Structure 1
């Protein structure tokens, strides 16, 4: 039999066997499921082509599965406005000039939007709705010039070249010098906080020419000279100039300021408290005022009783003298009244001790003076610890000055006030009509059944200015 016949016979025989005993698909699937080696190459761990494996498991060369679709790229960030590009250049230049020990400006990077920078606030500029840097807050950053040197504000460019600024807060840094005059032209510049720096000039004239300023904080610097009268012509809401080296008297136009919060504490100011404090804008707007820690002298003007909204009035630690004007009984909003550490004398007015806001968890400090008498309504305040009259000359009370000390004052040091009749003037006299019965009742209760104070009132906002780090109002 020839070769061709043998091949044909074998082929025919195989075909016949396949017809009689067809292969079972389930067997192949079972093998695959049990992960039995499908070829000699697989059993020996020898790699073989993908097509061969498909034939063995019955794939028959079917097309490969389609690859997973790629995740689309995020859209590019929006382009920076020209105002932001300009501001970024200014900020990066500023960063190159400073030492930043706390890495406050670490994320001020050239390829980032300045709106992402630490301490930078952005908003839409009103003129064209273009995004712009609206505020800079570097509070407590401890920034200095290179090698830890003081850093002049005018050379920094950061306050002068960003005309869209609405506020500039840099308390607790090492800035010195004066402001850039460019700030005078900023249309929306409302807040300036230079507190707790190293500024040692006279009162900055640029501040007086900034037309939109409403918040001014210059405390804890080394500013010198007098406080200019033009300051009280500005439409400011807050004036903090405490803890500097200001000297001289307060200007007579003091009462012109519409400010609600004023502190001149811990300077070297002299002279009298201006009478204008009780008329003009201050009579309608002044809420909290601190004169403590200066060298003010003379008597308190009765016009102080016209302060309709005052809650805090502090003239402690000065050289003031005279009786308390009866007009103080008109301060019907007062909660903190501090006249301690002066040379006041005479009787503590009874109508002052009747003010409801003082009686209800208020604080009236008259310690370290020379008062020798208190009105009948004051006794309950003493017992409830609302009123402090320690180290005075009041008979029958503990912790008073010695008899000799009081005698020396009243016979040798006591100074009269120039207009004693004004001390008896009560501008709100109608408020006290019909108070006679209440006074009599107070007098009967002066030694018994005295209500205890329920607790101290919260610390006023303005007292926080006596600490180097300002807490926002």
Structure 2
């Protein structure tokens, strides 16, 4: 750029400024021309190396990465704590290779493109007041894992616009507010983990009709009656533990017999008697309903859970005999019935006690150590106890060569169908 200085005062000023620039920039300065009275002379221009680097154009491997670059940089600015120095790598255009926690792949709609496909922040201990404007603005994201950070706020409804997101894990953070209903209707989402946060209110019953493989909702502050349509879930893993769900375990849970392998209902406020229909959860490996307010006998139908390894009903108000058919389960590794009011066990169950598989401490079983006092037991049984469908509790709805059960009464017409 050229300018013609004819005023002597202006000439002196420009020469002084040029001298200062040259002394600061030294050998890194570049020449430019100053024209004085029609004559030109070259001096050094004030373009420093850092500025020159900043002015270089950013070259991205794909336009899709150019789109998410400013989104990442904006999110970086709101991070309030980064004890592991994770964000120091979030510099420059090479997101796929250099940015810790970011991973790229070809998106489903264009196999020749390269896009930000997944984020794994697990254990990074990052703190930020929100994920809004970041998570919901990454159009090609398929997986987002952010376990064990200090993210807070709520989830933006815009998350529903992410077409490829199928795994969302924001567990062990500081999120609050109601259940993020925006995730309902996201046909791509199959894995939801919001454990160990501060979500409140109720869980929409529609959640159990969505095509999830895993639902981890435990350790929040959900307070509601356990939804009657819980059996409609197609999930393999369903964890509702450590909330405030109340009411009985719905009899319709048997409808999930083809999928559920792990059911965690412990540490809630569940009441009522155990439904006979639990025996139809033929894929169950873990069933845990410990530390609730459940009562009644243990259904013999549990002896049909041939794959089950862990059964936990400790810390309830269950009573009666511990069924031998349950103790005879072939894959059983842990049967926890402590802190109840059982009164009778047979030889098969005795054998499990000796092996350390069965725990019946704090019950009312004569001759077994570490039981409740007689006073406690008498006081409990002085109160009237009633369970509906009592006829079903001794019925075994599957064929077991060493056990038989009496036929169900013909008057019981609304029971779950027998498994084929």
- Who is 1:179 aligned against? 155
1:132 corresponds to which of 100, 115, 126: 115
Counterpart CA distance in 1 for 2:402 and 2:153 is 59
Corresponding position of 1:122? 104
Q: Which residue of 2 aligns with 1:292?
A: 266
Q: CA RMSD of the aligned region, Å?
A: 1.6
Higher RCO (CA < 8 A, seq sep 6+): 1
| 1:92-241 matched pairs, under 5 angstroms | 92-99=73-80, 100-129=82-111, 130-145=113-128, 151-154=129-132, 157-241=133-217
Query: For residue 390 of structure 2, what is the aligned residue in structure 1?
Result: 420
Instruction: Give the secondary structure class of the aligned counterpart of 1:284.
Output: coil
Higher share of residues assigned strand: 2
Give the TM-score, by structure 2 length. 0.79
Distance in 1 (alpha carbons) for counterparts of 2:97 and 2:136:
18
Whether the aligned pair in 2 keeps the contact of 1:92 and 1:110 (CA below 8 Å) is no
> Is contact 1:218–1:241 with CA below 8 Å preserved after alignment?
yes
**Conserved 8 A contact 1:310-1:331:** yes
| Structure that is richer in helix per residue | 1
**Considering only CA atoms, is the larger Rg found in Structure 1 or Structure 2?**
1
1:432 aligns with 2:410: no
Deviation at 1:79, TM superposition (A): 5.0
Cα distance change, pair 87–375 in 1 and its aligned pair in 2 (3 A) = same
Question: 1:93 offset after TM fit, Å?
Answer: 1.4
Query: How far does the alpha carbon of each residue in 1:246-278 deviate from its partner, in whole angstroms, 9 at most, with x for none?
Result: 111111110011111111111111111111111
Q: Is the 8 A contact 2:195 2:219 kept in 1?
A: yes
Q: Secondary structure at the residue paired with 1:396?
A: coil
Maintained 8 Å contact 2:292/2:316: yes
Alignment of 1:405 with 2:376, yes or no, is yes
2:247 and 2:271 in contact (8 A); partners too: yes
Note if contact 2:300-2:326 (Cα within 8 Å) is conserved in structure 1: yes
1:79 to 1:366, Cα distance in 2 relative to 1, 3 A:
closer
Query: Match of 1:81?
Result: 62
Whether the 8 Å CA contact 2:61–2:94 is kept in 1: the answer is: no
User: Is the CA contact 2:95–2:102 (under 8 Å) kept in the aligned structure 1?
Assistant: no
Q: Is 1:373 paired with 2:344?
A: yes
Q: Identify if the C-alpha distance between structure 1 residues 369 and 434 changes in structure 2 by more than 3 Å, giving closer, same or farther.
A: closer
1:191 Cα shift? 0.5
Q: Is the Cα contact below 8 Å between 2:59 and 2:93 reproduced in 1? A: no
Report the alpha carbon displacement of residue 398 of structure 1 after superposing the two structures with TM. 1.1
Unaligned runs of 5+ in 1: 1-76, 146-150, 437-473
Q: CA deviation at 1:435?
A: 4.3
SS state of the match for residue 386, structure 2?
coil
Greater mean alpha carbon deviation, residues 82-91 or residues 136-145 = 136-145
In the aligned structure 2, how far is the partner of 1:433 from the partner of 1:160?
56
Count of equivalent residues: 345
Q: 1:111 to 1:83 in 2, by over 3 A?
A: closer
In the TM superposition, residue 337 of structure 1 has moved relative to its aligned partner by 0.5
Give the Cα–Cα distance (whole angstroms) in 2 for the partners of residues 132 and 115 of structure 1. Answer: 12
Tell me the distance in 2 between the aligned counterparts of 1:210 and 1:421.
43
Residue of structure 1 aligned with 2:316, choices 325, 331, 342: 342
Question: Counterparts of 1:378 and 1:112 in 2: how far apart (Å)?
Answer: 62
Moved more, 348-357 or 181-190: 181-190
Matched ranges for 1:261-276 at <5 A? 261-276=237-252
Identify which range, 214-223 or 88-97, moves more after superposition.
Answer: 88-97
CA distances 1:349-384 after superposition (whole Å, capped 9, x unpaired):
1111111112xxx11111111000013321111111
Distance 1:390 1:371, change over 3 A: same
Distance in structure 1 (CA, Å) of the matches to 2:295 and 2:78:
52
Quick check: 1:175–1:199 contact (8 Å CA) kept in 2? yes
**Equivalent residue of 1:206, what SS?**
helix
Counterpart-to-counterpart distance in 2, 1:400 and 1:386: 17
